[in-house]
A and B are shown apart, each in its own frame.
Chain A
């Protein structure tokens, strides 16, 4: 949090996203993505659909901490501030994806 407050450079903040498949969802070759803080979950969903070669009829669900699906207009600034996981010092937003509804 402190580092964010002192950061005055006007360049857009980037956020690392780590993706993990659940259920029968296809595995991604590249499980790490870097997105802009202003990107929304809806825009990531679009990118992910392409990466997974999903058709219009396939559904795609994204979850945090295998618990809930954040609303699609959440941007990554919000997701990082609320749900980033700190493993090796870097803030990472971890998302699970599924092609069927997985949790409640």
Chain B
């Protein structure tokens, strides 16, 4: 692992605005502005946001169980890193310049495809995702040899934004002592309006040369049945056909930057992963 790169990735932040349409005689509370680390989750931020909204005198107390969150009029996933949500909106779709606008809604019922995630379930989901990543990398050898307090410590480093604690833990997961290559690289690819894609991708080609991140993304998208045909909605089939145009036109976005296609996949796995141990790549169209 590269300390400098990991540190830079860890430190990158995005501006986020939370608004609440409360109605009633008091009107809407002032928006809540914050800078969030890309690696964090809305599930972790929402309690702070609501306590800010609830600080108003005589205002009705807003409970987490009673709200849902929207971005651009669509339900937002509270359990994927906010940096991935930001990259998916892909600059031009952000409502005002460069700011991720999250709307807290109190209307009932919440949309069916919205899932409220408490801090506790977020911790459980995070730990399972780290395990899934390790299953892909080492058949879960590393996580099953970890000490009982290691996983909670990794989670705490995310909750407390503590890089030193994170760095101590993440090396165990990324640079296992036995020095074996990863079997597969935990990589999720996001194409607009489609469910995320993931496949078994090895670090090297059969001839022993290093696979690049560009190769890996092409392989994941090419073999995918849903990006070829049989898409359930007309919307997603329209985007997939334009997306499939030419692999060279694709931009691979992670942590808000264009990742060069020739980046070795193993470098991305070790240095560009989110704390959940997955590399999250958002596909954007060429400028």
Report which A residues bind B (CB closer than 8 A): 1, 4-5, 7-8, 10-13, 37-38, 40, 64-65, 67-75, 77-78, 81-82, 101, 103-104
Q: Decide if B223 touches A10 in the complex (CB within 8 Å).
A: no
A10, A13, A68: which contacts B132 (Cβ < 8 A)?
A68
- Give the docked Cα–Cα distance between A48 and B42 (Å): 29
Q: Decide if B222 touches A73 in the complex (CB within 8 Å).
A: no
Min CB distance A68 to B, Å, is 4
B128, B140, B199, B224: which contacts A71 (Cβ < 8 A)?
B128
Q: Using known A-B contacts A65-B135, A71-B129, A104-B127, determine if residue A5 contacts B199 with beta carbons closer than 8 Å.
A: no
Which residues of chain B are near A1, meaning CB under 8 Å?
Answer: 223
Q: Using known A-B contacts A71-B128, A71-B129, determine if residue A77 contacts B135 with beta carbons closer than 8 Å.
A: no
Q: Decide if A73 touches B229 in the complex (CB within 8 Å).
A: no
Q: Decide if A71 touches B229 in the complex (CB within 8 Å).
A: no
Q: Decide if B131 touches A78 in the complex (CB within 8 Å).
A: no
Min CB distance B186 to A, Å, is 10
A4, A65, A68, A73: which contacts B223 (Cβ < 8 A)?
A4
Q: Decide if A10 touches B229 in the complex (CB within 8 Å).
A: yes
Q: Decide if B195 touches A71 in the complex (CB within 8 Å).
A: no
Report which B residues bind A (CB closer than 8 A): 77, 79, 115, 124-125, 127-129, 131-132, 135-136, 140, 143-144, 151, 195-200, 222-226, 229-230, 232
B136, B151, B232: which contacts A38 (Cβ < 8 A)?
B232
A68, A78, A104: which contacts B198 (Cβ < 8 A)?
A78
Which residues of chain B are near A104, meaning CB under 8 Å?
Answer: 127-128, 131, 143, 151
Q: Decide if A67 touches B131 in the complex (CB within 8 Å).
A: yes
Q: Decide if B200 touches A81 in the complex (CB within 8 Å).
A: yes
- Give the docked Cα–Cα distance between A37 and B227 (Å): 12
Min CB distance B18 to A, Å, is 23
Min CB distance B123 to A, Å, is 12
B124, B127, B128, B195: which contacts A73 (Cβ < 8 A)?
B195
Q: Decide if A81 touches B198 in the complex (CB within 8 Å).
A: yes
A37, A64, A70, A101: which contacts B225 (Cβ < 8 A)?
A37
Q: Decide if A82 touches B225 in the complex (CB within 8 Å).
A: no
- Give the docked Cα–Cα distance between A10 and B129 (Å): 32
Q: Using known A-B contacts A13-B225, A37-B225, determine if residue A71 contacts B230 with beta carbons closer than 8 Å.
A: no
For residue B225, which residue of chain A has the nearest CB? A13
- Give the docked Cα–Cα distance between A40 and B112 (Å): 14
Q: Decide if A77 touches B230 in the complex (CB within 8 Å).
A: no
Min CB distance A19 to B, Å, is 19
Which residues of chain B are near A74, meaning CB under 8 Å?
Answer: 196, 198
Min CB distance B241 to A, Å, is 13
Q: Decide if B197 touches A78 in the complex (CB within 8 Å).
A: yes
Report, nearest first, the 8 A-B pairs whose CB atoms are least far apart.
A68-B131, A10-B229, A69-B128, A81-B199, A78-B198, A68-B132, A67-B140, A75-B195
